[in-house]
A = this chain, B = another copy of it.
Amino acid sequence: MVRIAVDAMGGDHAPGPEVLGALRAARSLGIEVILVGRQERINAELAKHSDLGDAPVRIVHASEVVTMEDSAAKALRNKRDSSIRVAARLVRDGQADGVVSAGNTGAVMAIAKTVFGMIPGVERPALASPFPTVKGKPALMIDVGANVDSTPKMLAQFAIMGEIYSRLIFRTERPRVGVLSIGEEEHKGNELTKTAAQILRNLPLNFIGNVEGRDLYTGNADVIVCDGFIGNVALKVSEGLVDVIKHLLKESLSATITRQIGYVLSRSAFQDFRKRVDYSEYGGVPLLGLKGVCIICHGRSNENAIKNAVRVAAEFASGDVNDKIAIEMAAAVGPLAASQAV
């Protein structure tokens, strides 16, 4: 049985969604969940859900909590018994196969990097976010915010990691890898994307060249590579737009009685629709490049997001993704060094 440690104290509404999401994952997915955090708080939450019956869930106590206000450096230096740190240690020490946290993203990344260490050949860990596409299979965008001012070589490393993740987790045969740019033509882009494209052409990837912002959703690419600043903007633009569309639709649908009746009849369509654009269905975003499995969730994650993040962590761990990244990074050292001159 795969064992996933959940940082029970991380999210904006912790530990409620963390405990319920973990319980549901443990019950329905056959995953052992280790809830890490203040024992009495977690027990109080568990008591509310005793009706759910038995599930393979246990608690590991951690006395401290990293808040959203803590800097990554402070969380790392001063809170050595924080829930996320204790959870990461369980993974390092072989007592868990992966960790899930909805806590302070900067702190979680710094702690995971310190506790797990990096896969040789990877300069920086990167966040890989799935986006729903019209064609059904999600597109993976990497990096969505772990790094800014990335170098072309870092983008090439993101491409290698993302390609493996897409292959192993989304079972894409020969993932099409694109560089996010502002036009499909080779001469379009900025210094970073043009140099990265030159490197990518020389790697053993199914590299399709430049893709555009709309290709996050078209399904024309399986892996979309970009600097974390761009990826984070793209992610937040999307979240903001989904929110505004829900708001506008609700407003329009309640404007007249006829529309309200129409809404009642077609409500299930909206539930379908929400599910398909709802980020909580994807659960969380893997941090790739570390010697350990770490899934980062949105601070405002609900129990569904946590449950799905536990599932993603288990798939990530069972797929031996990190071993395969290590092997392919070792093989890419030559071509990447040759691109030094670029």
Hey, which bits of chain A sit against chain B, CB under 8 A? 132-134, 145, 148-149, 180-182, 189-191, 212-218, 226, 228-230, 232-245, 247-249, 252-253, 255-256, 258-259, 261-270, 272-273, 276-277
How many copies the complex holds: the figure is: 2
Interchain nearest-CB distance for A219 vs B (Å): 9
- Chain B residue with Cβ nearest A273: B252
- Chain B residue with Cβ nearest A193: B229
A229 adjacent to B269 (CB under 8 Å):
no
B240 adjacent to A189 (CB under 8 Å):
no
B232 adjacent to A217 (CB under 8 Å):
no
A213 to B253 alpha-carbon distance, docked (Å): 27
A240 adjacent to B269 (CB under 8 Å):
no
- Additional A-B contacts beyond A190-B229, A213-B239, A262-B269 (16; CB < 8 A): A134-B248, A181-B229, A189-B229, A214-B243, A233-B233, A234-B234, A238-B241, A245-B277, A248-B273, A249-B269, A252-B276, A258-B266, A261-B265, A262-B266, A263-B269, A265-B265
Contact of A234 among B233, B245, B256 (CB under 8 A): B233
B214 adjacent to A239 (CB under 8 Å):
yes
A230 proximity list for chain B (CB < 8 A)? 229-230, 233
Task: Answer whether A247 and B134 are a contact pair too, CB < 8 Å, given A182-B232, A252-B269, A262-B263.
Answer: yes
Interchain nearest-CB distance for A105 vs B (Å): 9
B233 adjacent to A249 (CB under 8 Å):
no
A237 to B265 alpha-carbon distance, docked (Å): 31
Task: Answer whether A214 and B190 are a contact pair too, CB < 8 Å, given A233-B180, A267-B262, A269-B253.
Answer: no
A273 proximity list for chain B (CB < 8 A)? 245, 248-249, 252
Task: Answer whether A182 and B218 are a contact pair too, CB < 8 Å, given A213-B236, A240-B213, A265-B262.
Answer: no
A215 proximity list for chain B (CB < 8 A)? 240
Contact of A214 among B149, B237, B247 (CB under 8 A): B237
A252 to B265 alpha-carbon distance, docked (Å): 12
A216 adjacent to B232 (CB under 8 Å):
no
Q: 3 closest A-B pairs (Cβ-Cβ)?
A: A262-B266, A214-B240, A262-B265
Interchain nearest-CB distance for A146 vs B (Å): 10
- Chain B residue with Cβ nearest A212: B236
B229 adjacent to A216 (CB under 8 Å):
no
- Chain B residue with Cβ nearest A244: B217
Interchain nearest-CB distance for A7 vs B (Å): 20
A212 proximity list for chain B (CB < 8 A)? 233, 236, 240
- Chain B residue with Cβ nearest A148: B190
A213 adjacent to B190 (CB under 8 Å):
no
20 sample A-B contacts, Cβ–Cβ < 8 Å, listed by A number: A133-B244, A134-B243, A134-B244, A180-B233, A181-B229, A182-B229, A182-B233, A213-B237, A214-B236, A217-B244, A233-B234, A237-B237, A241-B242, A245-B277, A248-B277, A252-B269, A253-B266, A259-B268, A262-B265, A262-B267
